[in-house]
């Protein structure tokens, strides 16, 4: 792993040198020369008067009006039809979906009470509602309950403010949330198998890696395949398992693909080579 990081760093340094050289060339090209300049000059901080009509000539005889950037339109509390969910609808749907019973019985990725929020999406209309402008707007709110490794989907009618459907699935692994990737990184940093990641971070920055906040994190769900992993990871797919692709902020990527974090069991293991 450490060799890979050094190679990446070499590429980044080379790329930076090229970028600097390219910038220098652009400066040399775009800065005006002295040939033909008005020798009378001006004082520092003052600009020479522009010849009358110069701006109009550049615009084909017409003055160029300054550009105007219009502000984004104000977002309403409620959308219409198949409009994307507004911020207000997203927040309200999640609050409605997380009932008191679900909060008390569920568990989040870090072991706290309440299931782990994953996302809120505009629900598809029913078959007999397609194309109707007054069709009810609904939102599908998804949670992952780490207490029993279940994906919980609750459909909220945004007009009535009520939950109209609830579904629970096992063995279904949607994309990871930001909180789950951060928790996986925290488990990896605290585990002996994270020593290589910490050493690479030290080499690249001269500082100790102690928190997921020091990394940019991407990740993917890992599913077990027969004979492809140590026994401790055999339940991945039933459990919520992660392969991380960490990047040092303002630095290189670190190859951690051989490591899998089981968020359900809170264990880290290395894949066979």
The answer to whether residue 37 scores a pLDDT higher than 50 is no
What is the per-residue pLDDT across 173-202, written as a single tens digit (0 to 9) for each?
Answer: 999 999 999 999 999 999 999 999 999 999
The answer to whether residue 218 scores a pLDDT higher than 80 is yes
Q: Are 193 and 257 in contact (CB under 8 A)?
A: no
| Greater pLDDT, 115 or 8 | 115
Helix (H) or strand (E) holding 153: strand 150-157
Q: Are 256 and 188 in contact (CB under 8 A)?
A: yes
pLDDT at res. 132: 77
| Greater pLDDT, 22 or 112 | 112
| Greater pLDDT, 120 or 78 | 120
Q: Radius of gyration (Cα) for the chain, nearest Å?
A: 28
Place of tokens 């991945």: 236
Q: Are 233 and 222 in contact (CB under 8 A)?
A: yes
Going by C-beta distance under 8 Å and a sequence separation of 6 or more, which residues neighbour residue 271?
Answer: 228, 229, 230, 233, 258, 259, 260
Query: CA–CA separation, 141 vs 154, rounded Å?
Result: 5
The answer to whether residue 64 scores a pLDDT higher than 90 is no
Q: Kindly write down the DSSP assignment for every residue of 26-90, as one continuous string.
A: HHHHHS--STT--TT---TT--PPPPTTHHHHHTTTSPPPPP-PPPPPPPPSS--TTPPPPHHHH
pLDDT at res. 70: 61
Q: What is the dihedral of CA 241, 245, 246, 251, to 10 degrees?
A: 180
pTM over 0.85: no
């Amino acid at each position: 792993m450490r060799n890979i990081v050094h190679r990446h760093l070499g590429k980044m340094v080379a790329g930076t040198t090229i970028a600097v050289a390219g910038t220098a060339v652009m400066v040399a090209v775009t800065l005006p020369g002295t040939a033909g300049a008005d020798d009378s000059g001006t004082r520092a901080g003052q600009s020479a008067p522009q010849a009358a009509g110069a701006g109009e000539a550049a615009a084909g005889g017409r003055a160029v009006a300054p550009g105007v950037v219009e502000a984004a339109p104000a977002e309403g509390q409620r959308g219409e039809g198949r409009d994307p969910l507004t911020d207000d609808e997203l927040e309200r749907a999640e609050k409605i979906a997380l009932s008191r019973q679900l909060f008390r019985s569920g568990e989040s990725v870090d072991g706290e009470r309440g299931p782990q929020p994953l996302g809120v999406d505009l629900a598809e209309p029913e078959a007999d509602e397609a194309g109707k402008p007054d069709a009810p707007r609904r939102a599908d709110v998804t949670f992952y309950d780490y207490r029993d490794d279940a994906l919980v989907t609750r459909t909220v009618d945004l007009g009535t403010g009520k939950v109209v459907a609830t579904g629970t699935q096992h063995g279904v692994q949607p994309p990871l949330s930001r909180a789950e990737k951060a928790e996986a990184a925290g488990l990896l940093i605290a585990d002996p198998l994270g020593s290589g990641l910490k050493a690479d971070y030290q080499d690249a920055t001269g500082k100790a890696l102690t928190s997921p906040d020091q990394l940019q994190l991407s990740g993917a769900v890992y599913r077990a395949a027969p004979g492809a992993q140590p026994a401790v990871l055999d339940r991945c797919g039933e459990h919520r398992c992660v392969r991380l692709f960490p990047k040092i902020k303002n630095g290189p990527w670190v190859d951690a693909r051989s490591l899998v974090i089981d968020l359900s069991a809170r264990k880290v293991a290395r894949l066979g080579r």
